[in-house]
């Protein structure tokens, strides 16, 4: 069969049911194979939208997301989603077309070195040089994308090779001797970690997105509840432990709660699971958690001690390690009363510094209330994606995620324009779930064209735009750290989102009254098909609390 048809067979063998993409000259053979290949194809309006949709699909379902692009600009438009998937460890496969082999290196039409451009931002890449390699490259790409620390894998296929006839035999296994990720963890280290936890007086359990990726939220929760451990999560880990809960401190980091950040600052032991101590968590690294010893559990050995030296490093998969850590800990029968003083201190911070804001006395909608209204309107039972900015942080603070894979956002790269196409991908992967996107009026316009995709494909996402007329987070920084010199952050009142929604074939609504907001949102949710809602909120509201960049957790403001 043609190599392009073998590609379809390989994708189906990997369980692929849907792909997101856009055709062009270099990937025409693949699209001809898609015509009757038995895989659903979602025609996006921009390759970046397709890449983020593949991410949203992967994050919501736990399965590998697939995006297709042609050569040249088709491939370079995928660079941002690829990098986003790399930094957030999202299992994704990107299939790109390439010019014919005799044109490679000649600066042919729509030629670019896709492999070279993406090399620093992929887990691995395949530049196919023989058509017989295509099926095996696909199988290896999926294996790499989903195993160990998940991530994006690129397969670049020259057009003439995908048209060639090959003998196709389904692959039964993948063997990569040079790639053997450690998943089990060292039992001696696990035992040491359990002893350290049993002896600690001020412990904090600090979880990240690796728990969600590993499918280990249930194991993580059981472990945390084995004792009165204070629990905090990164923005990528939300949902791995049920919120609200009496042991839940809230999110930590730059816009986390004071209780979570102060507890990290005064802890004598921090047990990090599936988290990487990035700068949004640590603040000023030299002053981060100065009293603490560190247990660091991560499937990627490169993350261990990269930023913060680990006293007890454990390399492995959280789903394998956490139950064994729990068993070792229970066997020690630690004294639960040892944490009484620690909880008394934490509860003092919780009473003194709850998440709060000054609500309006009239009908004006505060952005924080908008998130609370969405939580009430959905009963908390929704998959929620977000773009990047103030609305992302407010959603993380005020929408209480009780389960994993319900919060879809761009953490590491912080990609504006992520939310709408990611919601689209999540909805395709979870057709029976309510999927909402909390967007900013700046971010949403960066990939708004995918609303046309949603209308055409009948993808009923509900997009709520937190419209404050500004690039809000940049405006906040200019207010606080640049003497209120607002440079190029005012978005004005353009476009008219309601009219734009209508032009795209979606339902447009505008909400401006706090008193009716919850019911208005319920109406939007109950409306068939894709809905775009323009919610006018307070213009110059700031996201607090906040650790100023480069400062310590104890220096939080707001």
Give DSSP secondary structure letters for 508-522.
EEEE--GGGHHHHHH
Please list, in sequence order, all residues whose beta carbon lies within 8 angstroms of the beta carbon of residue 231, skipping any fewer than 6 positions away.
Answer: 204, 205, 207, 224, 241, 245, 247, 248, 249
pLDDT at 104 (0 to 100): 92
**Mean pLDDT, the chain, whole residue set:** 96
In the three-class reduction of DSSP (H, G, I as helix; E, B as strand; rest coil), residue 144 is classed as: helix
Look at residue 239 and tell me whether its pLDDT is greater than 90. Answer: yes
% of residues, the chain, pLDDT over 70: 100
Q: Taking residues 123-138, what's their average pLDDT?
A: 96
Q: How confident is the model at residue 477 (pLDDT cuts 50, 70, 90)?
A: very high
For 52, the token pair is 């983020």
165-212: per-residue pLDDT in tens? 999 988 878 989 999 999 999 999 999 999 999 999 999 999 999 999
C-alpha atoms less than 13 angstroms from C-alpha of 149 in its C-beta half-sphere: 24
CA distances to 59, 74, 439, 466 from 384, in Å: 11, 28, 10, 14
Q: Taking residues 412-423, what's their average pLDDT?
A: 98
% of residues, the chain, pLDDT over 90: 96
Closest CA to 157 of 85, 84, 224, 75: 75
Phi, then psi, of 245 in degrees rounded to 5: -155, 150
Of the listed ranges 19-28, 113-122, 165-174, 501-510, the least confidently predicted one is 165-174
Look at residue 550 and tell me whether its pLDDT is greater than 90. Answer: no
Helix axes 517-526, 367-378, angle to 10 degrees: 50
DSSP secondary structure letters along 93-131: EEEEEE--GGGTTTT-TT---HHHHHGGGSSEEEE--SG
Q: How confident is the model at residue 549 (pLDDT cuts 50, 70, 90)?
A: confident
Q: E strands of 137-240, at which residues? A: 152-158, 203-207, 231-233
Query: Could you tell me the domains of the chain?
Result: 3-163 (3.40.50.970), 187-352 (3.40.50.1220), 367-536 (3.40.50.970)
Q: Taking residues 406-411, what's their average pLDDT?
A: 97
C-alpha atoms less than 13 angstroms from C-alpha of 281 in its C-beta half-sphere: 24
3-53: per-residue pLDDT in tens? 999 999 999 999 999 999 999 999 999 999 999 999 999 999 999 999 999
Closest CA to 374 of 458, 462, 275, 266: 462
Q: Taking residues 101-109, what's their average pLDDT?
A: 92
Q: How confident is the model at residue 330 (pLDDT cuts 50, 70, 90)?
A: very high
The whole-model pTM stands at 0.96
pLDDT at 172 (0 to 100): 79
pLDDT at 173 (0 to 100): 85
Q: How confident is the model at residue 544 (pLDDT cuts 50, 70, 90)?
A: very high
Pairwise CA distance, residues 545 & 556, whole Å: 6
Look at residue 224 and tell me whether its pLDDT is greater than 90. Answer: yes
pLDDT at 171 (0 to 100): 82
Closest CA to 387 of 453, 440, 428: 440
pLDDT at 509 (0 to 100): 98
Look at residue 553 and tell me whether its pLDDT is greater than 90. Answer: no
Pairwise CA distance, residues 67 & 55, whole Å: 9
446-467: per-residue pLDDT in tens? 999 999 999 999 999 999 999 9
Look at residue 275 and tell me whether its pLDDT is greater than 90. Answer: yes
Of the listed ranges 4-8, 278-282, 371-375, the least confidently predicted one is 278-282
Measured from the Cβ of residue 411, the count of other Cβ atoms closer than 10 Å reads: 23
In the three-class reduction of DSSP (H, G, I as helix; E, B as strand; rest coil), residue 434 is classed as: coil
């Amino acid at each position: 069969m043609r190599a392009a048809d073998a590609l379809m067979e390989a994708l189906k063998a990997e369980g692929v049911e849907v792909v997101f993409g856009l055709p062009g000259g270099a990937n025409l053979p693949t699209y001809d194979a898609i015509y009757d290949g038995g895989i659903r194809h979602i025609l996006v309006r921009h390759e970046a939208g397709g890449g983020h949709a593949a991410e949203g699909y992967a994050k919501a379902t736990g399965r590998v997301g697939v995006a297709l692009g042609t050569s040249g600009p088709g491939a370079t438009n995928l660079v941002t989603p690829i990098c986003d998937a790399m930094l957030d460890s999202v299992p994704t496969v990107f299939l790109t077309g390439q010019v014919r082999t005799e044109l490679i290196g000649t600066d042919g039409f729509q030629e670019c070195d896709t492999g070279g451009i993406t090399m620093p931002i992929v887990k691995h890449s395949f530049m196919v040089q023989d058509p017989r390699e295509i099926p095996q490259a696909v199988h290896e790409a999926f294996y790499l994308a989903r195993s160990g620390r998940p991530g994006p894998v690129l397969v670049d296929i020259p057009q003439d090779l995908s048209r060639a006839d090959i003998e196709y035999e389904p692959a039964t296994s993948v063997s990569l001797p040079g790639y053997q990720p450690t998943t089990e963890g060292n039992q001696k280290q696990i035992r040491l970690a359990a002893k350290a936890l049993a002896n600690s007086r001020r412990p904090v359990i600090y979880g990240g997105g690796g728990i969600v990726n590993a499918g280990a939220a249930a194991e993580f929760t059981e472990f945390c509840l084995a004792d009165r451990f204070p629990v905090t999560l990164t923005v990528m880990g939300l949902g791995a432990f049920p919120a609200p809960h009496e042991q839940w401190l809230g999110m930590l980091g730059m816009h986390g709660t004071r209780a979570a950040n102060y507890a990290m600052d005064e802890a004598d032991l921090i047990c990090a699971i599936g988290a990487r101590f990035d700068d949004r968590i640590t603040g000023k690294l030299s002053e981060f958690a100065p009293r603490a010893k560190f247990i660091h559990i991560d499937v990627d050995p490169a993350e261990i001690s990269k930023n913060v030296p680990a006293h007890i490093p454990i390399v492995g998969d959280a789903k394998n390690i956490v139950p064994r850590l729990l068993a070792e800990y229970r066997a020690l029968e630690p004294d639960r009363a040892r944490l009484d003083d620690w909880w008394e201190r934490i509860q003092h911070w919780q009473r003194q510094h709850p998440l709060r804001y000054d609500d309006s006395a009239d009908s004006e909608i505060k952005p924080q209330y908008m998130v609370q209204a969405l939580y009430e309107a959905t009963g908390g039972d929704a998959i929620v994606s977000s773009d990047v900015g103030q609305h992302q942080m407010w959603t993380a603070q005020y929408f209480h995620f009780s389960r994993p894979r319900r919060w879809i956002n761009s953490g590491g790269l912080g990609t504006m324009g992520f939310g709408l196409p990611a919601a689209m991908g999540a909805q395709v992967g979870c057709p029976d779930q309510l999927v909402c996107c909390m967007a900013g009026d700046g971010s949403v316009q960066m990939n708004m064209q995918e609303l046309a995709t949603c209308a055409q494909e009948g993808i009923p996402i509900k997009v709520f735009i937190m419209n404050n007329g500004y690039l809000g987070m940049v405006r906040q920084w200019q207010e606080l750290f640049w003497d209120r010199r607002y440079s190029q952050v005012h978005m004005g009142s353009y476009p008219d989102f309601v009219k734009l929604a209508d032009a795209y074939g979606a339902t447009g609504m505008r909400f401006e009254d706090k008193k009716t907001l919850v019911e208005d949102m319920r109406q939007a949710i109950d409306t068939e098909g894709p809905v775009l809602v323009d919610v006018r909120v307070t213009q110059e509201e700031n996201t607090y609390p906040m650790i100023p960049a480069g400062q310590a957790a104890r220096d939080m403001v707001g």
